[in-house]
Chain A
Amino acid sequence: MSHMHRIHWFDQQVRAGTYPNSSHMAEHFEISRRQAQRDLEYMEVSLHAPLLYVAKYRGYCYEDTTYVLPHLYMTEEEKKVLKYLAHRYRQYNYENRESANRIASLLDRFTDPDVREMNHRIPTFDMNPRIIQLIEKLSFAIQESRIMIIMYKDHEREQQLRICPLKLISQYYGDELIATSEHDQEYISFRVDGILYAHVTTERFTREAEQEVKPWNGQVMTRKPFIAKVGFISPLEGDSWHGYRILAQDELVYDIAFYDTDSFLMHLLIAKWNELIAPQWLKHKLQVKCQETLNRLHVVEEDHE
């Protein structure tokens, strides 16, 4: 956990509005800039910190100020579990060995460096198999839009209900199922551990388009990506175009999601594509950028002449 105090320091600086960056961190802790950058990367990727680089201030702020660093206190038992997992990942010697080893070193960061030995009893996980089975059933019903019959017990009574399951969400005390009753569209939430019995029927329900996009339970709305319609000469492999998520495909035309316009423009300048169909504003920006570059090249050529 040696680098956690640096992350805490960085978090405090961001909250104080001082717009810190990796150089500040490197200077403050007398570490290399590369190391500081790795810490920031770790914050962003593993701790999901919504860090936003503000070019104007040359530093970071939080895009969502409600973000808190996850609690990093761990019980001895949890440390053992992580140690065990790190151990297993390090021992892994088959396909994708490198990735597994990377995970091992990541897990190692959370554990005490002085506990090197793995002579403890292998830990076991307390996970109720009934809940695992139930979650699997619920997920299937949500995916297939199937009506379910459940026996649900709350603090008042036990009752049998026919429901249209929509979504599973995680709360701090456990999982919750969001559903509507068969006849009206009002949302009802059920604690998954209160569902005594669940049966997936063969009947389907129709899901209104709105139900899928509606944010639920006061969750903060997240920013939606821009979508570019790009045509290619040959089909793309996988579900992303060099890291830009593919949302939909119509033959050789793909809907590509992106958040940052500048980096996507850069990508368009270096990657291969056939046609940029939409959005218009992106075409315009790319055109302006290319024209500026051409003008500059032109000026340089004239100078040479």
Chain B
Amino acid sequence: MSVFLQDLVMKRESKSYTDSVYAILTAANLFQGPKYLLSGLTGMAFKFSVHQQLLPMSVSAYGQWGNEHKPAIDNLGILTIFDAGRVRHHTFPYYQQEAVNAVKSSLDCGIGVVYWIPEFGVIHGYDDGDRVFYIQDGCSEESQIVLYDNFGLNFTTFWYYQVFGDKVDIARQDMILESLRLAILDWETPFRTLPNTDIASGKLAYVYLCQGLKQGSFNTHGAVYILDSYMTARTEIRDYLGDAQGIWTELDEAYQLYGLLAAMIPRMNDCIRAHRGERQVDLSRVDELIELLTQAELLEDQAISHFRHISARYPDLKRTTIPRWGSHTPR
């Protein structure tokens, strides 16, 4: 038995998770619209995390994935099931077997699967004869091949996959409201991967980014990757809020603020130059870049306070009702 989803094409433009989900959901007809809409509704565009040394892993280290991705997909009204863990756990071979079966059944239904390669990619086919999965990373047109036996094995020592199911319709306004609340939460939580405090999130991520650039001993590739991802996300937020115009006046004001922020992006981009075929932060323009980022932080802070005003007008059952198991997921 083999399945190969031809229509599923992943393209790296946004965060790898957003790109993966977008490719899967649009191919399965579970989502219609541009990528920035998905990025905004899931709250993924608002996720911003930076490691002290500006390591490239910052971009996907925006929290415990289960806790971040579940509310994101929930807000779209789509059923999602995921599993993840560490390969060193004794029971990993059994989880691996279960995961392989789950991925295959999802592909049998014609729906791709999010998989940690790393970074996130899409499983878009399998072949029982060769016992392999076909995986797209969004960068190369060629599929990567992973043996069933090697599912989940990678240099990061953790594994992750996520499958999707049916969909219910949620009112557009409710989805937007929830996405703003996700954005507020991300902005206000300084550390999302506690007990580690070397990766900051939201408002504090700006501080880490500026400090890292100022110190000078940062990871050159990581710095560019973080900035690129940051600039893409801000453009996405602006476009997303632009589409949501006319519901709340505060949201229109927030859109104006993100518009100003997005207008600064070309100047930020100018602070990155090509050096021996590789883009690097221009060290002679670091001060200028920090200045721009400081202004951007202020604009974003004001926009988030507008979000808070909108959020305060409606009851927030998700965050005010404490479930039986407390405020954490029962894992």
A residues whose Cβ falls under 8 Å from a Cβ of B: 16-19, 50, 52, 56-57, 61-66, 214-215, 218, 220-224, 226, 261, 278-281, 285, 288
- Indicate if the CB atoms of B92 and A221 lie closer than 8 Å: yes
B53 neighbours in A (Cβ, 8 Å): 16-17
Minimum Cβ distance to chain B for residue A272 (Å): 24
Q: 25 A-B residue contacts at CB 8 Å?
A: A17-B53, A17-B56, A17-B57, A17-B219, A18-B219, A61-B155, A63-B155, A64-B155, A64-B157, A66-B88, A218-B88, A220-B87, A221-B92, A221-B93, A221-B153, A223-B153, A224-B149, A224-B150, A226-B147, A279-B130, A279-B132, A281-B130, A281-B134, A281-B143, A281-B145
Known: A17-B56, A221-B92, A223-B153. Contact between A281 and B147, CB under 8 A? no
A280 neighbours in B (Cβ, 8 Å): 127, 129-130
Known: A17-B55, A19-B221. Contact between A221 and B87, CB under 8 A? yes
A281 neighbours in B (Cβ, 8 Å): 127, 130, 132, 134, 143, 145
- A-B complex: 7 closest residue pairs judged by Cβ atoms: A279-B130, A224-B149, A63-B155, A17-B55, A223-B153, A223-B150, A281-B145
- Indicate if the CB atoms of B145 and A261 lie closer than 8 Å: yes
Q: What is the chain B residue whose CB lies nearest that of A217?
A: B90
A288 neighbours in B (Cβ, 8 Å): 142
- Please report which residues of chain B, range 258-276, place their CB below 8 angstroms from some CB of chain A when the two chains form the complex: none
Q: What is the chain B residue whose CB lies nearest that of A215?
A: B93
- Indicate if the CB atoms of B88 and A220 lie closer than 8 Å: yes
- Indicate if the CB atoms of A52 and B127 lie closer than 8 Å: no
Minimum Cβ distance to chain B for residue A59 (Å): 9
The listed residue (A61, A63, A285) touching B142 by CB distance below 8 A is: A285
B43 neighbours in A (Cβ, 8 Å): none
Q: What is the chain A residue whose CB lies nearest that of B220?
A: A18
Report the separation of the CA atoms of residues A192 and B156 in the bound assembly, to the nearest whole angstrom. 35
Report the separation of the CA atoms of residues A305 and B103 in the bound assembly, to the nearest whole angstrom. 52
Q: What is the chain B residue whose CB lies nearest that of A285?
A: B142
Minimum Cβ distance to chain A for residue B267 (Å): 27
B56 neighbours in A (Cβ, 8 Å): 17, 57
- Please report which residues of chain B, range 105-136, place their CB below 8 angstroms from some CB of chain A when the two chains form the complex: 127, 129-130, 132, 134
A19 neighbours in B (Cβ, 8 Å): 221
Minimum Cβ distance to chain B for residue A277 (Å): 11
In the complex, whether B222 has a CB less than 8 A from a CB of chain A is yes
Minimum Cβ distance to chain B for residue A55 (Å): 10
- Indicate if the CB atoms of B219 and A226 lie closer than 8 Å: no
- Please report which residues of chain B, range 71-89, place their CB below 8 angstroms from some CB of chain A when the two chains form the complex: 87-88
B219 neighbours in A (Cβ, 8 Å): 16-18
Minimum Cβ distance to chain A for residue B131 (Å): 8
Knowing that A218-B90, A226-B147, A281-B145 are A-B contacts, what are 11 other residue pairs whose CB atoms are under 8 Å apart, sorted by A's residue number? Answer: A16-B219, A17-B53, A61-B155, A64-B157, A66-B157, A224-B147, A224-B149, A224-B150, A279-B130, A281-B130, A285-B142
Minimum Cβ distance to chain A for residue B222 (Å): 7
- Indicate if the CB atoms of A278 and B92 lie closer than 8 Å: no
Report the separation of the CA atoms of residues A63 and B154 in the bound assembly, to the nearest whole angstrom. 7
- Indicate if the CB atoms of A278 and B129 lie closer than 8 Å: yes
Q: What is the chain A residue whose CB lies nearest that of B153?
A: A223
B92 neighbours in A (Cβ, 8 Å): 221
Minimum Cβ distance to chain A for residue B126 (Å): 11
A222 neighbours in B (Cβ, 8 Å): 153
Known: A17-B53, A226-B147, A280-B129. Contact between A57 and B88, CB under 8 A? no
- Please report which residues of chain B, range 44-81, place their CB below 8 angstroms from some CB of chain A when the two chains form the complex: 53, 55-57
Q: What is the chain B residue whose CB lies nearest that of A225?
A: B147
A17 neighbours in B (Cβ, 8 Å): 53, 55-57, 219, 222
Minimum Cβ distance to chain B for residue A284 (Å): 10
- Indicate if the CB atoms of A279 and B129 lie closer than 8 Å: yes
Q: What is the chain B residue whose CB lies nearest that of A65?
A: B157
A64 neighbours in B (Cβ, 8 Å): 155, 157
Minimum Cβ distance to chain A for residue B139 (Å): 8
B155 neighbours in A (Cβ, 8 Å): 50, 52, 61-65
Minimum Cβ distance to chain B for residue A4 (Å): 24
Q: What is the chain A residue whose CB lies nearest that of B155?
A: A63
Report the separation of the CA atoms of residues A18 and B56 in the bound assembly, to the nearest whole angstrom. 9
Report the separation of the CA atoms of residues A224 and B132 in the bound assembly, to the nearest whole angstrom. 12
B153 neighbours in A (Cβ, 8 Å): 221-223
Report the separation of the CA atoms of residues A62 and B154 in the bound assembly, to the nearest whole angstrom. 10
Report the separation of the CA atoms of residues A285 and B155 in the bound assembly, to the nearest whole angstrom. 25
Interface centre among A63, A280, A281 (most CB of B within 10 A): A281
Q: What is the chain B residue whose CB lies nearest that of A216?
A: B90
A220 neighbours in B (Cβ, 8 Å): 87-88, 157
- Indicate if the CB atoms of B127 and A57 lie closer than 8 Å: no
Report the separation of the CA atoms of residues A111 and B168 in the bound assembly, to the nearest whole angstrom. 70
B147 neighbours in A (Cβ, 8 Å): 224, 226
Report the separation of the CA atoms of residues A198 and B271 in the bound assembly, to the nearest whole angstrom. 73
Q: What is the chain B residue whose CB lies nearest that of A18?
A: B219
B149 neighbours in A (Cβ, 8 Å): 224
